[in-house]
Amino acid sequence: MAKLILLRHLQSQWNLENKFTGWIDIPLSKQGIKSAKEVAEKLRDLKIDKVYTSPLIRNKETVSLILEHLNKVKEDKSSFPPFAVARVKDVPVIIDKALDERNYGKLQGLNKDRVKKQCGEAKVRLWRRSWNVAPPGGESLKDVSKRTLPFFKKYIEKDLREGKNVLIVASHNSLRALVKYLEKISCKDVIDLEIATGAIREYEFDKNLRLKSKRS
């Protein structure tokens, strides 16, 4: 049976500062980097055949740190730039923008609490968590799904059918789009779906891609 492991990136600097990040390329915080070892230990007993992630640095940094703690990087790292996927040994890492976070439009870089005070908590919750309401100038979760799901079905489902164990390291809303699809969450109920930084969700499929078990 094939396993799919979803991992939201570790805490970024703007997660720490409570800012809307979206497509702004913000690195991990010191706490995020520190937490990598603990998160990696949760994956220690899982065989990982392939990794997918996005070009955003917080996702690539998470991949690099996790694989480093799992001893899946080349021993001589001096010739490689920080967090380059070329460091990885044995495990192919595929990087694609389909797995990027949603574009938060005009909210990017703004403090979340201040936006709530200005616009109201209910409206901000719709922008952040609902299915089809987009933040000003940004993407809705439905929009994110239109790029994330075709990529998943074309490439990752193929790997799963071949019996490969796949790790996806991505951002909150690209993962929410995938979880909605995998767990058949309704457009109404997805507003309650949240995935913490560093959180792991694990799915097991049979050869026909029928979901056999899930764990989070």
Q: What is the DSSP string of 70-98?
A: TT-B-S--TTS-TT-GGGB-SS-EEE-GG
9 is catalytic: yes
d(CA 30, CA 108): 21
Is residue 208 within 8 A of residue 21, CB to CB? The reply is: no
The active-site residue out of 9, 61, 139, 202 is: 9
Specify the DSSP element, H or E, that contains 169: strand 166-170
User: Is 75 among the residues known to form the active site?
Assistant: no
Catalytic residue from among 61, 101, 139, 202? 101
Cα distance between residue 71 and residue 59, in whole Å? 18
Picking from 59, 57, 22, 19, the residue whose alpha carbon sits closest to that of residue 137 is 22
Q: Which residues contact 13 (CB under 8 A, 6 or more apart)?
A: 26, 27, 28, 29
Which residue numbers are catalytic?
Answer: 9, 101
